[in-house]
Amino acid sequence: MNICDKYKTELSAFLNVKKDAISLYWKGRVALYTALKSMGISKGDEVIIPAFTCVVVPNAIIYLGATPIYVDIEEQNLCTTKNLIEKKITHKTKCIVIQNMLGLSNEVDEIVLLAKKHGLYTIEDCTHGFGGKYNGLYNGLKSDCSFYSSQWNKPFSTGVGGILLVNNQNLKSQIELNNKNLSKPSNKSKLTLHLLILFRKYILKDWSYWFLLKLYRKLSMLGLVVGSSQKEEITGITIPNNYLISSSYVQAKFGLKELKQMHNKLSIRRENGLIYNEWMKKNNKYFIDEKYLDNHSFLKYPILVKDRDVFLTLAVKAKIQMGDWFISPLHPVKDNLSQWHLEKKNYPCAVKISQHILNLPSDVKNVNAILKFLNKNKAQIL
Ligand SMILES: Cc1ncc(COP(=O)(O)O)c(C=O)c1O
């Protein structure tokens, strides 16, 4: 068995699904694109997605000629709801994307039922939620297709990487057909990915985190290293060259190692997430209601702050690995969202949250330094 096959075997064993339900890609967004294409989504179709997501999600829809239709989120769980989605269904709707946000899910069963009632496909965006559970089942098992990401900072990391799980047997052969059209990653991409993973493991430390993160973001925008996004993906809506790329042995090699530690990592994240939640609750700050926390995987812990720039500067000084994700409804693009068909005024909750959100790391061994930092800067937290 080659290493990619072994990786698929381990992934399927973890999720308790059949091995042939899994496909591997260079990035999660390619998995999403493949799922949508396999559902036959094309020009004139509408796909419903949250108005609080990563820009690569509407990109995948637009690259196929279809239109993303946005739905606002709820403040208490950062996800959409069945009722909000229902209002956006038209005769053009073909699919609903149900997003797991920072590990949180909401009304997945209800949304899947709604989709079935209207004859629509569902895709779970589990890029933040591998290994977490919702209503007793691993995230991703309830929709027609689900995709996961193993990009930096995801539940487990292979630098970049995407996984597609197909639960609807009728889509399987079309997915296999579309997989055949993917290009292989170049030797240069594989080598730089390999080096970056080693660099991150051995060189990245708390004190160098912010400097190296900024450098990495710049180099990847210039196309000099394997990056999370290419420049074209965040400046426009044209599919870039080198988008439809399959996975490689590099992802399989590191993915296999990471999967072995997955249960242990999940319990650390959960423990830390619950500590943060207690602190927030005790201090009368924004916190996640217990009803969402059963088996929640806490990829990150969301906090809301008065002034994000001020708080980030304080975090950099204190060498806290604060995350600045979702600073816009279509992260990381801040302005001119109309080319992605999003008008900010229509999504007040997503806009408000994106103005105030930061996230705390959940995969640290000891949260004491972070709690000390939060205590010191309590007045800045909402
Ligand atoms: C919500 C969401 N969906 C999709 C993606 C795309 O995943 P990938 O970077 O593996 O393509 C991301 C990326 O971080 C994301 O945050």
Which mutation among 47, 52, 56 tests ligand 1's pocket best, with the greatest number of atoms within 8 A of CB? 56
Range of the domain at 345: 262-380
- Region 273-277 average pLDDT: 97
How far away, in angstroms, is 250 Cα from ligand 1 center?
19
CA dist., res. 233 & res. 303, Å (int): 27
CA dist., res. 245 & res. 182, Å (int): 5
- Amino acid letter at 366? N
**323: in domain:** yes
Rounded to 5 degrees, φ, ψ at 206 are -50, -45
**What does each C-alpha distance from 59 to 62, 90, 219 come to in angstroms?**
5, 21, 22
Nearest CA to ligand 1 atom 13: 54
**354: in domain:** yes
| SS3 (DSSP) at 48 | strand
CATH code (residue 288) = 3.90.1150.10
How far away, in angstroms, is 29 Cα from ligand 1 center?
6
Instruction: Quote the tokens at residue 256.
Output: 């296999």
Taking alpha carbons only, the member of 273, 375, 363, 382 closest to residue 318 is: 375
How far away, in angstroms, is 377 Cα from ligand 1 center?
30
Is pLDDT above 90 for 319?
no
**What does each C-alpha distance from 171 to 165, 184, 382 come to in angstroms?**
11, 23, 45
Q: Which DSSP category does 343 fall into?
A: -
How far away, in angstroms, is 282 Cα from ligand 1 center?
32
* Phi-psi region at 179: left, alpha or beta (left = phi > 0; alpha = psi -120 to 50): alpha
- The tens digit of pLDDT for each residue in 157-198 reads 999 999 999 999 999 999 999 999 999 999 999 998 998 888
- The tens digit of pLDDT for each residue in 77-96 reads 999 999 999 999 999 999 99
| Residue % of the chain over a pLDDT of 90 | 83
Q: Which atom of ligand 1 is nearest to the CA of 125?
A: 3
CA dist., res. 200 & res. 380, Å (int): 31
CA dihedral (199, 125, 271, 211) positive or negative: positive
pLDDT band at 142; cut points 50, 70, 90: very high
CA dist., res. 29 & res. 163, Å (int): 9
Write down the pLDDT at residue 295: 87
Is the separation of the CB atoms in 145 and 123 below 8 Å?
yes
Nearest CA to ligand 1 atom 16: 54
Task: Tell me the pLDDT of the chain averaged across its residues.
Answer: 94
- The tens digit of pLDDT for each residue in 256-265 reads 999 999 999 9
To the nearest 10°, report the CA torsion of 261, 322, 319, 161.
40
| Residue % of the chain over a pLDDT of 70 | 96
Pocket residues for ligand 1 (CB within 6 Å)? 27-29, 53-54, 56-57, 99, 125, 127, 149, 151, 162, 228
**What does each C-alpha distance from 318 to 32, 175, 369, 377 come to in angstroms?**
38, 47, 9, 11
CA dist., res. 219 & res. 206, Å (int): 20
**166: in domain:** no
Instruction: Quote the tokens at residue 226.
Output: 């394997």
Write down the pLDDT at residue 34: 98
**116: in domain:** no
DSSP alpha helix (H) spans, 54-128: 56-63, 82-86, 108-117
Taking alpha carbons only, the member of 173, 141, 158 closest to residue 14 is: 141
Give the number of domains in the chain: 1
Cis peptide before 332 (omega within 30 of 0): yes
Would you say how long the chain is, in residues? 382
Taking alpha carbons only, the member of 72, 315, 37 closest to residue 178 is: 37
**161: in domain:** no
- The tens digit of pLDDT for each residue in 6-25 reads 999 999 999 999 999 999 99
CA dist., res. 361 & res. 63, Å (int): 33
Write down the pLDDT at residue 306: 97
CA dist., res. 257 & res. 2, Å (int): 15
Q: Which atom of ligand 1 is nearest to the CA of 161?
A: 10
How far away, in angstroms, is 34 Cα from ligand 1 center?
14
**69: in domain:** no
**280: in domain:** yes
Nearest CA to ligand 1 atom 10: 28
| SS3 (DSSP) at 210 | helix
**373: in domain:** yes
CA dist., res. 20 & res. 22, Å (int): 5
Q: Which atom of ligand 1 is nearest to the CA of 150?
A: 10
- Amino acid letter at 274? L
The DSSP result for 268-284, as a single string, is HHHHHHHHHHHHHHHTT
